[in-house]
Amino acid sequence: MELRHLRCFVMLSETLHFARAAERLEISPPALTKQIQEIERFLDVRLFHRTKRSVSLSSAGEVFLQEALRTLQQAARAEEAARRAGRGEIGKIEIGYIASAAYTGLLQTAIAGFRSSYPQVQLNLMEAAMDTLPLQVSNGSIDLAFVRPPVDCPADVMLTTLLTDEFVVALPLHSPLARQELLSAAALATQLFILPEQPAGTIEVGRRGRFVPRTMANPGGLVAVVTLVSLGQGVAIVPASVMETVNMPGVVYRRIAGKSIPGSIALASRRHEKSAVVRAFLQQLKQLKQR
């Protein structure tokens, strides 16, 4: 028994007239009669009482009608769910991010915009160590990741730049260097550097100042980095967004003289993404980037 059998049965149950039911179904009366006979043969029960002048449901037919209606309704829901999933309107996306993506406001804007357009898509977000995120995208543990290049990526993962910014230096409040509004790279040569997750800014400061930075182990996220700076443990080269969002006692931020040291936030995604809902997120971000 197929859905077409149920549709024929329900239509005949509603009209109790073979010719009218056949017309609405856009089939011939003999074809409708055949469909009903096939159902009754399959169930081994009479669903209708038929005379030359009337058609009425049997007691078995009345019970079967309720279940047939439920089945057709569920089938309709399943069809609609499949279509919506195919359009990327429902589903789930696993997203990884680094803290500085949130400090820039980019993460919040991207998530809020997508939720507004696709309210029934479940978004699961987690902060993670940046060097682990591209691999997680590749192996399917997560679908997308907000990272700060440069970062090593497997061959099947690509990076799309979403936002560009610059690096600044975080100093202990009582450091003599804090008295200057603009610091040269060379002025930092004797400092101990606390390495954030993305060391590119620190490396570039050393290159410009012609010294090899003395560094201490990465303590974790940017808040942990700035905390150590506030405790007088050293200085740190951090994204400018941190200067605007992490207002911690005992820390001052200063810009670095010369051409700004560029940084960026990028999205790590699979090159050949199959999920419609993930593709919808990527398309939404593309539109956001173009504004």
Q: In degrees rounded to 5, what are phi and psi of residue 241?
A: -60, -30
Confidence of residue 246 (pLDDT cuts 50, 70, 90): confident
Q: For residue 290, is pLDDT > 60?
A: no
Confidence of residue 88 (pLDDT cuts 50, 70, 90): low
Question: Which amino acid is it at 48?
Answer: F
| Pair of tokens at residue 270 | 């699979």
Question: Which amino acid is it at 86?
Answer: G
SS3 string, 191-217, reads: CEEECCCCCHHHHHHHHHHCCCCEEEC
The least confident of 72-86, 96-110, 269-283 is 72-86
In this structure, how many other beta carbons lie within 10 angstroms of the beta carbon of residue 222?
A: 24
Give the residue carrying structure tokens 């940046």: 130
| Pair of tokens at residue 4 | 């077409």
pLDDT of residue 87: 66
| Pair of tokens at residue 238 | 């951090």
| Pair of tokens at residue 260 | 């700004």
Cβ within 8 Å of residue 140, ≥6 positions away: none
pLDDT of residue 143: 96
- CB-CB contact of 134 with 147 (8 Å): yes
Query: pLDDT digit string (tens) for 143-202?
Result: 999 999 999 999 999 999 999 999 999 999 999 999 999 999 999 999 999 999 889 999
> In the predicted model, what is the mean pLDDT of residues 223-241?
94
Question: Which amino acid is it at 129?
Answer: A
| Pair of tokens at residue 190 | 């004797």
**Average pLDDT, rounded, for the chain:** 91
- CB-CB contact of 266 with 150 (8 Å): no
Selection from 247, 245, 244, 240 nearest residue 261 by Cα: 240
- Rounded to an integer, what distance in angstroms lies between the CA atom of residue 255 and that of residue 99? 21
Percent of the chain exceeding pLDDT 70 equals 97
> In the predicted model, what is the mean pLDDT of residues 251-265?
95
> In the predicted model, what is the mean pLDDT of residues 24-38?
92
Beta bridge partners of 214: 192
pLDDT of residue 247: 87
Query: pLDDT digit string (tens) for 35-50?
Result: 999 999 999 999 999 8
| Pair of tokens at residue 287 | 């539109």
Q: What angle do CA 245, 251, 257 make, to 5 degrees?
A: 85
- CB-CB contact of 172 with 251 (8 Å): yes
Q: For residue 273, is pLDDT > 70?
A: yes
Confidence of residue 271 (pLDDT cuts 50, 70, 90): very high
- Rounded to an integer, what distance in angstroms lies between the CA atom of residue 213 and that of residue 21? 84
Question: Which amino acid is it at 55?
Answer: V
Instruction: Compute CA distances 64 → 8, 14, 259, whole Å.
Output: 13, 13, 78
- Rounded to an integer, what distance in angstroms lies between the CA atom of residue 112 and that of residue 246? 22
